[in-house]
Every structure is written in structure tokens, then in C-alpha cells.
């Protein structure tokens, strides 16, 4: 079962596996990213950051959509993590149903980023993906850890 779709540019890091993994008893993390999926060095580094209690898979959008649509998450407690909403929109375009997304940290790229919440920035490409997903009924909220009160951000995103 997918417990959370999460946007965080750090992907696997302490706050994710120390707070979100225990909250949902996560035993499988899926990173969806076309670029990372073909970068062996980056994949190895991400695997080093994983707790022993969970399995990590890193797939491009096409493979992730195929696997998710086939029910790969059945019988597991899954978190799907991306560093951009663009990858989630790609999943939706391939039939994956996404109802809500937890946004954590996404740093400014210093060029075309706008601030959405305390630690959440978006590029023009990200904003377009957010807005398209909102138009398809997705709820976005900013929440860095389970103890932080979630902040609804759909209205903010639509105004940018």
C-alpha cells in the first residue's frame, strides 16, 4: 500500500527515514526519477542512506508507472519519493492515481524559483506540474515531519 507520495529534493535522508518510515512502518521506498535511474553513482549513494529495515528501488517514470499500475505496492508499506512534481505528473499521465502529495524540502535553484512555504520552492516547470495536478484533483500540503501541522498549499500554488 502506498502510504505517501512525497516531494523532497533530498530524497532519502534522516528526516524521511527517522520520522516518516516509522509513522507508516515503511518497508519499501520507491524513488521515481528518469535521471537518477540511469546514474549508478547516484543510486549507490541513495542506497547508502537507506535504513536496513526497508528496500529501495529507483525507477524511471515509465517503469514506475508500469509497476505501480500492476500493484507492486500490494503487501508492502510504501513511500514514493520524488524531487520534483514533474515526475508525479508523469506517473499520472500513465494512469497512476494520486490523490494527495506531502511536500517537504525543495531548495531554490536561484534562477527561476519562487517560494511556496518555509522550505519549499518551485521552478517554472515545477509550478506548471503542480497546477496541472491540482486541476486533476490532487491535494498538496507542506509538512516536514509528522509532528508538524500540515499546511495546505493548493491555493498558494494556484496564485503563483
What is the SS3 assignment for 121?
strand
Domain boundaries, the chain: 2-159
Find all residues with CB under 8 Å of 39, minimum gap 6, and list them. Answer: none
**Among 3, 1, 5, which residue's Cα sits nearest to residue 88?**
5
Q: Tell me the C-alpha distance between 24 and 94, whole Å.
A: 26
pTM score, whole prediction: 0.96
With a cut of 70, list the residues of the chain below it in pLDDT: none
pLDDT in tens, 107-128: 987 778 999 999 999 999 999 9
Q: What are phi and psi of 150, to 5 degrees?
A: -65, 140
CATH for the stretch 2-159: 3.40.35.10
Task: Give the residues across from 80 on adjacent strands.
Answer: 5, 30
What is the structure's pLDDT at 119? 92
Q: Tell me the C-alpha distance between 84 and 107, whole Å.
A: 11
Amino acid at each position: 500500500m502506498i502510504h505517501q507520495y512525497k516531494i523532497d529534493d533530498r530524497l532519502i535522508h534522516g528526516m524521511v527515514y527517522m520520522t516518516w518510515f516509522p509513522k507508516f512502518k515503511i518497508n519499501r521506498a520507491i524513488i521515481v526519477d528518469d535521471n537518477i535511474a540511469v546514474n549508478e553513482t547516484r543510486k549507490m549513494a541513495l542506497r547508502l542512506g537507506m535504513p536496513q529495515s526497508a528496500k529501495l528501488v529507483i525507477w524511471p517514470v515509465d517503469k514506475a508507472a508500469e509497476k505501480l499500475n500492476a500493484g507492486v505496492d500490494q503487501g508492502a508499506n510504501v513511500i514514493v519519493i520524488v524531487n520534483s512534481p514533474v515526475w508525479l505528473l508523469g506517473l499520472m499521465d500513465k494512469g497512476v492515481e494520486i490523490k494527495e502529495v506531502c511536500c517537504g524540502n525543495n531548495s531554490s535553484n536561484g534562477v527561476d524559483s519562487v517560494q511556496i512555504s518555509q522550505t519549499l520552492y518551485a521552478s517554472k516547470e515545477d509550478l506548471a506540474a503542480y497546477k496541472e495536478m491540482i486541476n486533476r484533483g490532487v491535494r498538496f500540503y507542506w509538512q516536514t515531519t509528522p509532528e508538524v501541522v500540515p499546511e495546505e498549499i493548493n491555493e498558494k500554488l494556484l496564485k503563483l
